[in-house]
A and B are shown apart, each in its own frame.
Chain A
Amino acid sequence: MKTRILGAVALIAVAAMVLVALFVVPADLNQGDAQRIMYPHVASAWLGYLSFGVTAAAGIGWLWKRDMRFDAVALSAAEIGVVFTAFAIWGGMMWGDPVWGVMWQWEDPRLTTTALLLALYVGYLLLRHLTDDPERRATRAAIVGIVAAVDIPIVHFSVEWWRGLHQTATIGSPDRVLNPAAPMVFVGTLLGMLAAFTLAWVYLMIRRYQLARLEVEREEAARVERLMSRHETAEVAR
C-alpha cells in the first residue's frame, strides 16, 4: 500500500517536473530549447551510476552474508540501471546533435564512460541470464559487478586525461546546467527533476525487488518439485 502511494507521488512529481522543464523554465541563451534535454539526461545518468553502485554494494553484501535478498537487490539495480543509462545516452545524443552538431563525441569523459557503463551492465545481465544455479549466479554476478565498479572511475579518469592532452574546446557544454554559477532557475529545475526521477527509481527498485523475490521462490519451488518427482519415480521403480 505504501509502495502504491510512493508510485503515485513519483508519477505526479515526474509529470510536474516535465511540465516545468518544457514550459516554465526559460530556454538557454546559447543552446536554445535543446538545453531542456539536459534535465532528464543528467537525472538519468545520475541514477544509472547510482544503480551501478548499488549493484556492486549488494554484490559485496551477498559475498559477505550469503543472503539471497542482496542478490535480488543487485539484479534489480542492474536492470533498472541499464534502463536509465540507456536513457542518459539517448538524451545525450539528442542534445549533442543540435548543440555540438554531432550525436557523439569521444572526448567528453561523461559520454564515453556512460557508454562503457552500459556495456558493463549488459555483460552483467547476460552473465546472470546464462547461469542457472542461483548461488553460483549470485557469486559470479557479485564479483563481476565489483570489478566493473572498480573499472568505472579508471575509465573516467583516463578519458579526462585523453581530453586534457588533446585540448579542444567544446562549443557547448552540459556544464551550463551543472555549473553552480548558473541561474538559479536552471539549477532548481535540475534538482527538481533529479528528485522526481529518484522517487521513480525507488519505486521501480521496490517493485523489481518484489518481482525478483517471487521469481526466486518460483525457481526454488520448481527445483523441489523436480527432486520430488524423481524421488517418486525411484520409489515406484522399487
Chain B
Amino acid sequence: MTDAGYVIAAYGVIIGGLALYAFSLMRRLASKRDHHDEAR
C-alpha cells in the first residue's frame, strides 16, 4: 500500500467514524424524543 493508501485508510475511518457516531447519536435522540412525547 502506498503512503496515500494509509492516509486514506486513517482519515477515512476516523472522519467517517466520527460522522457515523454523530449520526447514530442524532437518530437515537430523535427516536427517544418521539417515544417520550407519545408516552405523554
Contacts and interface: CB of A to CB of B under 8 A. Distances in A.
Q: Is A–B contact present in the complex under a CB 8 A cutoff?
A: yes
Interface of A: 7, 14, 18, 22, 32-34, 36-37, 40-41, 44, 80, 83, 86-87, 90-91, 94-95, 97-98, 200, 203-204, 207-208, 210-211, 214-215, 217-218, 221
B17 to A, nearest CB: 6
Contacts of B21: 80, 83, 204
B29 A211 contact: yes
Majority-rule SS of B interface residues? helix
Contacts of A33: 3-4, 7
Interface of B: 1, 3-4, 6-7, 9-11, 13-15, 17-18, 21-22, 25-26, 28-29, 32-33, 35-36, 39
A37 B25 contact: no
B6 A207 contact: no
Contacts of B10: 37, 40-41, 90-91, 94-95
A215 B29 CA distance: 9
Contacts of A95: 6, 10
Given A32-B3, A33-B4, A208-B25, A22 B13 contact: no
Nearest to A90: B13
Contacts of A204: 21-22, 25
A32 B35 CA distance: 51
A83 B18 CA distance: 8
Contacts of A211: 25, 28-29, 32
A95 B15 CA distance: 16
Given A37-B10, A204-B22, 13 more contacts: A32-B3, A33-B4, A40-B15, A44-B14, A80-B21, A83-B18, A87-B18, A90-B14, A91-B14, A204-B25, A207-B26, A214-B36, A218-B36
Given A83-B21, A90-B14, A204-B25, A37 B7 contact: yes
